[in-house]
A and B are shown apart, each in its own frame.
Chain A
Amino acid sequence: MAVMSYLEAGKAALAAEMREDASVWALGEDLGRGGVFGQYRGLVDEFGPARIVDTPISEATIMGAAVGAALLGTRPVVEMRFADFALCAVDELVNQAAKARYMFGGQGRVPLVARQPIGMWRSSAAQHSQSLESWYAHIPGLVVVCPFTPADNYGLLRAAIRCDDPVVYMEHKDLWAMTGEVDEAADLPLGKARLVREGSDVTLVAWSGVLRAVEAALTLLADGPSVEVIDLRTIYPWDRDRVLDSVRRTGRLLIVHEAVATGGFGAEIAATVAEELFGNLKAPVRRLGAPRIPIPYSPPLEEACKVSPAQIAETVRGML
């Protein structure tokens, strides 16, 4: 076991895959200088500029070139810098990467990873802060991953690179410095949630950066109800069985995500539980997410978008 930051874990995962498989390469702006957050620092020294490729600010072609290169059997890891910038490459991701295998009748596959850092971080305002995982979960063909721990960022990025389907890989920018133990020998599967904590009264499903607010809320609830916490990790395909099994036992479900609540992936989970477990429910399903406003710049205004520990604790208490 090694202790790594979330950022170092992602870098170590990419390096490990590049060592094992010569067809893996990375492309994006500034990668040779380490990437916008330093998550590629030093990789060009080991792998050279042909495999750690500095590109122009051409998101559409970064993504589209990755599609063409993946169809030929290489495994490109695409860096979009911010999920917000990946919107300049939506045709290439949604119309091309996600559909090429299907519309060509299975003749080719597109094993690319589109790294799209998400989330509120240092007053980054409306165009550098969004969490858009639910958009991509809506698109047939895409796998969507939102790792929270350094261990998951290591294991799930390795799995994403090995995956033969296109993967939208969303690291949270506010987690880069967070450290944790990483088992480099562990083989983490896509599509499986992580049980953070067992509990019997309420099932709380969350993912990505907001799990820190969940942890703080659990402290506030220390002598209160028993909360089972599930980190979904893979948003699509999501671990239905794990969530349904838990809600079957607790009878209560709260979903917490940083993304706008309206049309967020929490809605899909809530709808599924309503369809499958209506008779088991002891309380209405609850969701917490951001209000439907662009993310503002000023720190006190940005707070208005964040789900707070107090809000989570209060919501849990209200469900009992």
Chain B
Amino acid sequence: MAARANIDVERLLAHYRTMARIRAFEEAAERAHQEGHVKGAVHLSIGQEAVASGVCVHLQREDLITTTHRGHGHTIAKGADTGAMLAELLGRASGTCQGKGGSLHIADFSIGMLGANGVVAAGLTIAVGAAHAVKLRGEPRVVVCFFGDGATNRGPFLESLNWAKIYELPVLFVCEDNGFAASTRTRAMSSGPGPHARAESLGIPARTIDGNDVAAVDEAAGELIERVRAGNGPQFLLARTYRLKGHTASDLGAYRPAAEVEARKAHDPLKHAAEMLKVSGVADETIIAIDGEARAEIAAAWKSAFAAPWPAAEIAFTDVQDMRMSSWR
């Protein structure tokens, strides 16, 4: 376990709350998928919540993120409404994308979330482009690009890191290494010492941390985002974590020993944070209350999402192409 960073109790409680909300959201999404209410694929980040919370706590509303197919956690931590997200999973009109995207394409531009993505590594090029525009216009905001370990074997990973460095763009790359590229261990398919070494080979400073320790993520992300904000160009964070669920909600993960998963559950980021809170003198009841509030929020969100209407059929034909001129700014 990584050395415990100093973190005050209120801040840790806030992280615990964010992580509990993500966990409750994804457990509800998993159940809804299994019960057939959510038709499309759902990729759960259960066990990886500390990365989302520890990074996004440093972002302002106007800062930007891109994420992946496994992006519910980042989206919630950036500030998206869980009710609109659940409605999107259900394909309802009140979803973040009017039901046209689903879990794989959740986006919320109002909070600077530029989209999940169905294609591995596709978010990297979009993130550096957003950072390029930010720099071109001299804006103070930063871009955080979340991606998985699997993405580091795709060409756009090399291209985008190189691009960000040659133009010294305001972007933090966050590689959330959960050990698996779909059902294959990434380690078996990757040469060299790892993603951080690939970043360093391009001159991008990289830090490697225990991604299940939210205090460690908070500290490292804080330092790196500060550097990005100060105009020091792109930075790289490798957060080592573990995907406690399968690749999708319908993947039982039979390709890995059950004992391995059980052992990893001992280092669940929520459990880890709860232990730190207890050590700091926070009562069990406080933690249990936070869990309860998170579940209550998601239950209410679920109820409203379920009650929301389906999109009207004509919505299928909107926002395709209209050749409007010079209106998008």
A contact set with B: CB distance below 8 Å? 21, 23, 25, 50-51, 55-56, 58, 60-61, 63-74, 76, 91-92, 95-96, 100-109, 111, 140-143, 159, 162-165, 190-191, 237
B contact set with A: CB distance below 8 Å? 64, 66, 95-101, 105, 107-110, 114-115, 117-119, 122, 124-134, 136-137, 155-156, 159-160, 162-163, 166, 318-329
CB atoms of A106 and B137 under 8 A apart: no
CB atoms of B328 and A58 under 8 A apart: no
Given that A69-B136, A102-B319 are known contacts, is A64 also in contact with B122, CB under 8 Å in the complex? yes
Minimum distance in angstroms from B110 CB to a CB of chain A: 8
With CB as the reference atom, state the residue of chain A lying closest to B325.
A162
Minimum distance in angstroms from B155 CB to a CB of chain A: 6
Minimum distance in angstroms from B311 CB to a CB of chain A: 9
Given that A61-B159, A61-B163, A96-B122 are known contacts, is A106 also in contact with B129, CB under 8 Å in the complex? no
CB atoms of A74 and B109 under 8 A apart: no
Given that A60-B156, A96-B122, A107-B97 are known contacts, is A164 also in contact with B328, CB under 8 Å in the complex? yes
With CB as the reference atom, state the residue of chain B lying closest to A95.
B119
Tell me which of A106, A107, A237 has the highest count of chain B C-beta atoms within 10 A of its own C-beta: A107
* Cα-based distance from A66 to B267 in the complex (angstroms): 40
The answer, among B109, B125, B318, for a CB contact under 8 Å with A104, is B109
The answer, among B97, B109, B124, B323, for a CB contact under 8 Å with A190, is B323
With CB as the reference atom, state the residue of chain B lying closest to A108.
B109
**6 smallest A-B Cβ distances: which pairs?**
A64-B125, A68-B129, A65-B129, A105-B97, A105-B98, A68-B126
Q: Please name all residues of chain A whose beta carbon is closer than 8 Å to the beta carbon of B160 when the two chains form the complex.
A: 61, 64-65
* Cα-based distance from A59 to B318 in the complex (angstroms): 30
CB atoms of A95 and B318 under 8 A apart: no
Q: Please name all residues of chain B whose beta carbon is closer than 8 Å to the beta carbon of A21 when the two chains form the complex.
A: 326
CB atoms of B162 and A58 under 8 A apart: yes
CB atoms of B162 and A104 under 8 A apart: no
Q: Please name all residues of chain B whose beta carbon is closer than 8 Å to the beta carbon of A50 when the two chains form the complex.
A: 136
Minimum distance in angstroms from B131 CB to a CB of chain A: 8
The answer, among A105, A159, A191, for a CB contact under 8 Å with B100, is A105
Q: Please name all residues of chain A whose beta carbon is closer than 8 Å to the beta carbon of B99 when the two chains form the complex.
A: 105
Q: Please name all residues of chain A whose beta carbon is closer than 8 Å to the beta carbon of B328 when the two chains form the complex.
A: 70, 73, 108-109, 111, 164
The answer, among B97, B162, B320, for a CB contact under 8 Å with A140, is B320
* Cα-based distance from A55 to B115 in the complex (angstroms): 25
CB atoms of B96 and A68 under 8 A apart: no
Q: Please name all residues of chain B whose beta carbon is closer than 8 Å to the beta carbon of A100 when the two chains form the complex.
A: 115
CB atoms of B321 and A68 under 8 A apart: no
With CB as the reference atom, state the residue of chain A lying closest to B96.
A105
CB atoms of B136 and A25 under 8 A apart: yes
Minimum distance in angstroms from B39 CB to a CB of chain A: 16
Q: Please name all residues of chain B whose beta carbon is closer than 8 Å to the beta carbon of A140 when the two chains form the complex.
A: 320-321
Q: Please name all residues of chain B whose beta carbon is closer than 8 Å to the beta carbon of A101 when the two chains form the complex.
A: 319-320
Q: Please name all residues of chain A whose beta carbon is closer than 8 Å to the beta carbon of B130 when the two chains form the complex.
A: 68-69, 71-72
Q: Please name all residues of chain A whose beta carbon is closer than 8 Å to the beta carbon of B329 when the two chains form the complex.
A: 23, 73
* Cα-based distance from A105 to B319 in the complex (angstroms): 7
24 contacts between A and B (CB under 8 A): A58-B159, A61-B156, A65-B132, A68-B126, A69-B130, A71-B129, A72-B64, A72-B133, A92-B122, A104-B100, A104-B115, A105-B96, A105-B100, A107-B109, A109-B328, A140-B320, A162-B326, A163-B325, A164-B322, A164-B324, A164-B326, A165-B323, A191-B323, A237-B321
* Cα-based distance from A281 to B133 in the complex (angstroms): 53
CB atoms of B163 and A58 under 8 A apart: yes
Q: Please name all residues of chain B whose beta carbon is closer than 8 Å to the beta carbon of A95 when the two chains form the complex.
A: 118-119, 122
CB atoms of B326 and A107 under 8 A apart: no
Tell me which of A21, A70, A106 has the highest count of chain B C-beta atoms within 10 A of its own C-beta: A106
* Cα-based distance from A101 to B124 in the complex (angstroms): 18
